[in-house]
Amino acid sequence: MTLVPHTPPRRTLRAALLGAVAVVAISAVAVENGVLTPNFATAADSQASAGPASFADVVDRVKSSVVSVKVKMAESADNSDSQEMPQFPPGSPMERFFKRFGMPDQNDGDSPRHPSHHLTMAQGSGFFISADGYIVTNNHVVDHATEVTVTTNDGKTLAAKVIGTDAKSDLALLKVQDAGTFPFVKFAEHTPRVGDWVIAVGNPFGLGGTVTAGIVSARGRDIGSGPYDDFLQIDAPVNHGNSGGPTFDTEGNVVGVNTAIFSPSGGSVGIGFAIASDVVQSVVAQLKDGGTVQRGWLGVEIQQVTQDIADSLNLKTASGALVAKENKDAPAAAAGVKIGDVITAVNGQTVADPRDLARRIADLGPKKSADLSIWRNGAQQTVSVTLGSMPNDEQQASAETPAKPDPDAAMAKLGMTLQHGADGVTVSDVDPSGPAADRGLQPGDVILEAAGQTVTRPAEVAKAFETAHADGRKSVLLRIKSGDAVRFVALPA
In whole angstroms, what is the distance from residue 193 CA to residue 12 CA?
Answer: 30
Half-sphere exposure of 427 (CA within 13 A, CB side): 26
Cα–Cα dist 198/300, whole Å: 38
Residue 365 burial by Cβ neighbours in a 10 Å radius (0-12, 13-18, 19+): middle
- C-alpha dist (Å) from residue 447 to 184, 354, 409, 431, 460: 57, 23, 17, 17, 11
Q: Give the amino acid at 359.
A: R
Q: Which residues are catalytic?
A: 140, 170, 243
Q: How far is CA 430 from CA 5, 211, 416, 438, in A?
A: 44, 55, 4, 10
Q: Which residues contact 448 (CB under 8 A, 6 or more apart)?
A: 399, 401, 402, 403, 424, 454, 455, 479, 480, 481, 486
In angstroms, rounded to a whole number, what is the distance separating the alpha carbons of residues 279 and 257? Answer: 10
DSSP string, 183-232: ----B-SSPPPTT-EEEEEE-GGG-EEEEEEEEEEEEEE--SSSTT--EE
How big is the CA angle at 214 (ends 208 and 217), to the nearest 5 degrees? 125
d(CA 377, CA 358): 23
Report how far residue 145's alpha carbon sits from residue 115's, in angstroms, rounded to the nearest whole number. 20
Q: Count Cβ atoms below 10 Å from residue 243 Cβ, excluding itself.
A: 33
Closest CA to 147 of 21, 26, 32: 26
